[in-house]
Structure 1
Amino acid sequence: MSTNVTETLQFNCTTCPSECLLTVEMERDANGAVTAVRSVTGNSCPRGDKFAHQELICPMRVLITTVAASGGDEALLPVRTAEAIPLELHAQAMDLIRGVVVEAPIRMGDVVLPNLLNTGIDLIASMDIDPA
Structure 2
Amino acid sequence: MMMKDMVCIVCPVGCRISVDEDSDYEVTGNKCPKGASYGKKELTFPTRTITSTVKIKNAIHNRLPVKTSSEIPKNMIFDVMRELNKIEVVSPIKVGDVILENVLNTGVNIIASRDM
TM-score over 0.5 for the alignment? Answer: yes
TM superposition outliers: structure 1 runs of 4+ over 2 Å? 36-39
Q: Which has the higher strand share?
A: 1
> 1:47 aligns to what?
34
Map 1:64-79 → 2, pairs under 5 A: 64-79=51-66
Q: Deviations over 1:10-49 (max 9, x none)?
A: 111111222211011225xxxxxxxx74421011222211
Structure 2 unmatched ranges of 5 or more: none
Map 1:5-16 → 2, pairs under 5 A: 6-16=1-11
Q: Which has the higher helix share?
A: 2
TM-score (norm 1): 0.81
Tell which structure's C-alpha radius of gyration is larger. Answer: 1
Picking from 64, 72, 83, the partner of 1:96 is 83
| Alpha-carbon distance between aligned partners in 2 of 1:116 and 1:68, rounded to the nearest angstrom | 17
Identity of aligned residues (%): 35
TM-score (norm 2): 0.91
Letter matched to residue 88 of structure 1: N
| Alpha-carbon distance between aligned partners in 2 of 1:45 and 1:73, rounded to the nearest angstrom | 44
Q: Deviations over 1:32-86 (max 9, x none)?
A: xxxx744210112222111011101111111111110012221111111011111
Letter matched to residue 14 of structure 2: E
CA RMSD of aligned residues (A): 1.5
Structure 1 unmatched ranges of 5 or more: 1-5, 28-35
Question: Structure 1's 26 and 70: CA in aligned 2 closer, same or farther, altered over 3 A?
Answer: same
For these two proteins, the number of residue pairs brought into alignment is 116
